[in-house]
Amino acid sequence: MNGFDVTFRDERDWVSFGETYVNSEAFRTLFRDGMALVEETAAYLDGEGRAESRLISRDATLSYAAESMRLTTLLMQIASWLLVQRAVAEGEITAGQAVEEKTRVKLSALDPSRADTLSLLPLRLQDLTRRARRLHDRILHLDTLISEDRPTPEPQESPVAAQQGLLRSAFAPSH
């Protein structure tokens, strides 16, 4: 034996990565950076981006529209995830409720952007897209770590199914 005892006496000895992380300075920095990227992108798309979109080729206009929609959707998913995690950190919701929220906020692997399409777009949009994708990848990794650490909520029977069960038992033939 190496002299280290790594056994745990009970569940109270476990350290929750999710709880520790969302209460850390690292998470607060991630939150600030993520929300700043959302604001920066919104300002760009509403201002400078509109002007730049008028200067690109006609073929690139469709790519610009599609990429800006993808980017907006991606950043809304990121913002939603960050807000849910902050709510856990601030005690507004429980870790279990955060797991339930995951059904509404879908973080999924991204399809890679086509380099030839991305290269047609203004440089600032390309940069925002790359930064958002890197942030998304980081959040996906963190979400996996946190999810593995949080309890899975018990599936609850729907009220309709409960009533159907009561009706079945009330009208079941007695033996």
Instruction: Enumerate domains of the chain plus CATH numbers.
Output: 14-171 (1.10.8.930)
The pLDDT of residue 48 = 96
Give the tens place of pLDDT for each residue, 86-132.
Answer: 999 999 998 888 888 877 777 777 776 677 788 899 999 999 999 99
The pLDDT of residue 1 = 44
Give the tens place of pLDDT for each residue, 16-67.
Answer: 676 788 889 999 999 999 999 999 999 999 999 999 999 999 889 999 999 9
Contact 149, 20 (CB under 8 A): no
The pLDDT of residue 113 = 66
**Which one-letter amino acid corresponds to residue 160?**
V
The enclosing H or E element of 149 equals helix 123-149
What residue spans of 8-112 are helical by DSSP H?
A: 17-22, 25-46, 48-53, 58-89, 95-101
The pLDDT of residue 59 = 84
Query: How many angstroms separate the Cα of 3 from the Cα of each of 6, 15, 174?
Result: 10, 22, 65
- Sequence-distant (6+) residues with CB within 8 A of 166 are none
- The mean pLDDT of 135-152, rounded to a whole number, is 82
pTM to 2 decimal places? 0.73
Tell me the C-alpha distance between 14 and 8, whole Å.
Answer: 8
Residue 13 has pLDDT above 70, yes or no: no
The secondary structure of residue 12, as a DSSP letter, is G
